[in-house]
């Protein structure tokens, strides 16, 4: 057995980058990223809801791709770059957020940070997605109050806005 | 909101073995106090719902060398067990040569979960959505038994799923290329003339309770080839869904070989699926519903293969 395989300490120092800033968080290796973001870093824009990856309220970007922070464990985030909704709006409203506001892509707003994060991950890798690609990218984000019409309009508007901005 | 296992759990220790042998020894040492973990997405669901207890030890398989890549092997495509479901879903060779695997993975969870979940974890669960599709290509699995790497068909692996110890460690999945994809020279020319008169077909369906990101009620795949006269040259029929371990209907497959697909044969297919498919009932769908659904899906796909 190698030394590395023996590294199963009860505490774990998670070193990663969150919203552009290097962080070292003393935790346990199996702690959920969601818990660390909300309770340790007090970045409460990332929402807790289903705890099993079904609703998407806790979505964050890991290396630029959307993942459920309720499923990711601390050791899986080591060395990674994590972006939360606070990171997306660090320099002011992101055009995706503006599009959600203008198109009424929310009602209670609880799912909205996760929606924004998923759309950000999609458009950063695929600036001109098809309807099917949008549907697939948002298939892990559930809205239980306003329906999806406004959300789809917001995504379309965000795509157009990003195109015009180029 | 879930039961918040995180809030009440004693945090398990996480081990990071570098080799399959190390992982195996750790499992032997900790026994039922431990589980192998790949992406951990299914485990988290089980812990939160109370289906499984949180173990004292997690044996993380992600650091084992060579399990995180997709490569072309001697007889087919070799997919490491630690490759994410999303990486498989978007891999160009899988899209081109094994399209119903791509389709199965497109319908598995959501992209955000597929980036964490792995193909090895999906298979090791015995109920993953990828299984009927992989069975449709006669996939093989390579696993470690504590002494050596063993290769068996996925179909055999699933048949003995409940009989082997949980220590068995899945390493790779192998998807054999079709014969015409591996031959060269005059063999290719001969085969092309045969293939030009042969129609290949494949289809995958996942029936759930909502359109996207839903647990499977019935999962079905059918693949094979037909002659010019619509005779079945080869066929694989695989069914899963719910908590049922996916299975191939090999008895029915043998009955169909050499037969012409017509209305009478489709009736036979329908009736035999009603007999042979053994789904499990749950709160959401009866056995009868699942059987009927599967029989309709396979019969309709065979009809399409013969007539479209």
Chain A residue at shortest CA distance from B5: A51
User: Please, which pLDDT band fits residue B160 given cuts at 50, 70 and 90?
Assistant: confident
Contact A140 B111 (CB under 8 A): yes
Query: What is the DSSP annotation of chain B?
Result: ----HHHHPPPPEEE--SSHHHHHHHHHHHGGGEEEESS-HHHHHHHHHTSSPPPSEEEE-TTSTTSS-EEE-SSEEEEETTSBHHHHHT-HHHHHH-HHHHHHHHTSS-HHHHTTSBHHHHHHTS--THHHHHHTTT-EEEEE-SSSEEEEEHHHHHHTTTTS-TT-EEEEEEEEPPGGGT--HHHHHHHHHHHTT-EEEEEEEEE-SSSSS---SEEEEEEEEE-TT-BEEEEEEEEEETTEEEEE-HHHHHHHTT-B-SHHHHHHHHHHHHHH------SS--HHHHHHHHHHHHHHHHHHHHH-
Chain B residue at shortest CA distance from A49: B1
pLDDT digits (tens, 9 = 90+) for B101-143: 999 999 999 999 999 999 999 999 999 999 999 999 999 999 9
Mean pLDDT over residues B263-276, rounded? 98
Chain A residue at shortest CA distance from B40: A71
Nearest-by-Cβ selection for B113 from A12, A31, A71: A71
Contact B45 A52 (CB under 8 A): yes
Instruction: Give the distance from residue A91's alpha carbon to the nearest chain B alpha carbon, in angstroms.
Output: 25
Mean pLDDT over residues B52-58, rounded? 93
Domain at A95-165: CATH code: 1.10.150.120
Mean pLDDT over residues B203-218, rounded? 84
Which residues of chain A does B18 touch, with a Cβ-Cβ cutoff of 8 Å?
Answer: 2, 4-5
Instruction: Give the distance from residue B148's alpha carbon to the nearest chain A alpha carbon, in angstroms.
Output: 17
CATH 3.40.50.2000 fits A4-88, yes or no: no
Contact A1 B63 (CB under 8 A): no
pLDDT digits (tens, 9 = 90+) for A116-127: 999 999 999 999
Q: Which residues of B touch chain A, with CB atoms under 8 Å apart?
A: 1-6, 11-18, 22, 25-26, 39-41, 44-45, 48-49, 57-58, 60, 62-63, 106, 109-113, 115-116, 212-213
Nearest-by-Cβ selection for A59 from B3, B14, B112: B112
Instruction: Give the distance from residue A7's alpha carbon to the nearest chain B alpha carbon, in angstroms.
Output: 6
Q: Could you give the ipTM of this predicted complex?
A: 0.93
Domain boundaries along the sequence of chain B: 12-60, 70-179, 199-307
Domain boundaries along the sequence of chain A: 4-88, 95-165
Q: Which residues of A touch chain B, with CB atoms under 8 Å apart?
A: 1-2, 4-10, 12, 28-32, 35, 48-54, 56, 59, 62, 65-68, 70-73, 75-76, 118, 135-137, 139-141
Q: Which fold has domain B70-179?
A: 3.30.465
Least confident of A34-38, A63-67, B41-45, B133-137: B41-45
The percent of residues in chain A predicted with pLDDT above 90, rounded, is 87
Contact B112 A12 (CB under 8 A): no
Q: What is the pLDDT of residue B305?
A: 96
Contact A29 B11 (CB under 8 A): yes
User: Please, which pLDDT band fits residue B1 given cuts at 50, 70 and 90?
Assistant: very low
Contact B15 A6 (CB under 8 A): yes
Which residues of chain A does B111 touch, with a Cβ-Cβ cutoff of 8 Å?
Answer: 65-66, 136-137, 139-140
Nearest-by-Cβ selection for A68 from B3, B15, B113: B113
Mean pLDDT over residues B262-271, rounded? 97
More confident residue, B195 or A140: A140
**Domain B199-307 in CATH: superfamily?**
CO dehydrogenase flavoprotein, C-terminal domain (3.30.390.50)
Contact B111 A50 (CB under 8 A): no
Instruction: Give the distance from residue B40's alpha carbon to the nearest chain A alpha carbon, in angstroms.
Output: 7
| Mean pLDDT of the residues in chain B | 90
Nearest-by-Cβ selection for A53 from B14, B17, B113: B113
The percent of residues in chain B predicted with pLDDT above 70, rounded, is 88
Q: Which fold has domain B12-60?
A: 3.30.43
């Amino acid at each position: 057995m190698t030394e590395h395989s023996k590294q199963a300490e009860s505490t774990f120092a998670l070193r990663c980058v969150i919203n552009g800033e290097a962080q070292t968080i003393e935790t346990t290796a199996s702690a959920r990223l969601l818990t660390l973001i909300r309770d340790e870093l007090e970045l409460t824009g990332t929402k807790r809801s289903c705890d099993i990856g079904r609703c998407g309220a806790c979505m964050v970007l890991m290396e630029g791709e959307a993942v459920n922070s309720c499923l990711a464990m601390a050791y899986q985030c080591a060395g990674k770059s994590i972006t939360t909704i606070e990171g997306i709006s660090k320099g002011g409203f992101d055009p995706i957020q503006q599009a959600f506001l203008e198109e009424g892509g929310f009602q209670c707003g609880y799912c909205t940070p996760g929606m924004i994060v998923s759309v950000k991950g999609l458009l950063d890798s695929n600036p001109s997605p098809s309807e099917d690609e949008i549907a697939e990218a948002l298939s892990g984000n559930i809205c239980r109050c306003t329906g999806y019409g406004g959300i789809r309009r917001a995504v379309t508007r965000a795509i157009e806005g990003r195109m015009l901005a180029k | 909101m879930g039961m918040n296992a995180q809030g009440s759990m004693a945090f398990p220790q996480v081990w990071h073995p570098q080799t399959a042998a190390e992982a195996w020894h750790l499992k032997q040492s900790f026994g039922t106090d431990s589980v192998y973990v790949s992406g951990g997405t299914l485990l988290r669901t089980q812990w939160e719902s109370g289906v499984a207890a949180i173990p004292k030890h997690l044996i993380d398989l992600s650091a084992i060398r060579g399990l995180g890549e997709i490569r072309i092997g001697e007889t087919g495509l070799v997919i490491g067990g630690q490759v994410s479901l999303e990486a498989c879903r978007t891999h160009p060779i899988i899209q081109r040569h094994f399209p119903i695997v791509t389709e199965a993975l497109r319908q598995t969870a959501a992209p955000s979960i597929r980036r964490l979940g792995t193909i090895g974890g999906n298979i090791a669960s015995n109920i993953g959505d990828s299984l009927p599709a992989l069975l449709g290509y006669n996939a093989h699995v390579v696993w470690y038994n504590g002494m050596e790497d063993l290769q068996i068909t996925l179909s055999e692996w699933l048949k003995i799923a409940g009989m082997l110890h949980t220590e068995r460690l899945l390493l790779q999945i192998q998807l054999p290329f079709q014969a015409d994809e591996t031959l060269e020279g005059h063999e290719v020319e001969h085969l092309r003339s045969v293939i030009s008169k042969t129609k290949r077909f494949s289809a995958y369906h996942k029936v759930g309770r909502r359109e996207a990101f839903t647990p499977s009620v019935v999962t079905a795949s059918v693949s094979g080839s037909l002659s010019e006269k619509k005779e079945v040259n080869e066929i694989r029929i695989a069914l899963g869904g719910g908590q049922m371990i996916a299975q191939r209907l090999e008895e029915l497959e043998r009955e169909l070989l050499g037969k012409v697909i017509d209305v009478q044969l489709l009736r036979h297919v329908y009736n035999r699926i009603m007999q042979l498919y053994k789904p499990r009932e749950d709160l959401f769908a009866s056995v009868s519903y699942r059987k009927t659904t599967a029989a309709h899906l396979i019969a309709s796909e065979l009809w399409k293969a013969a007539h479209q």
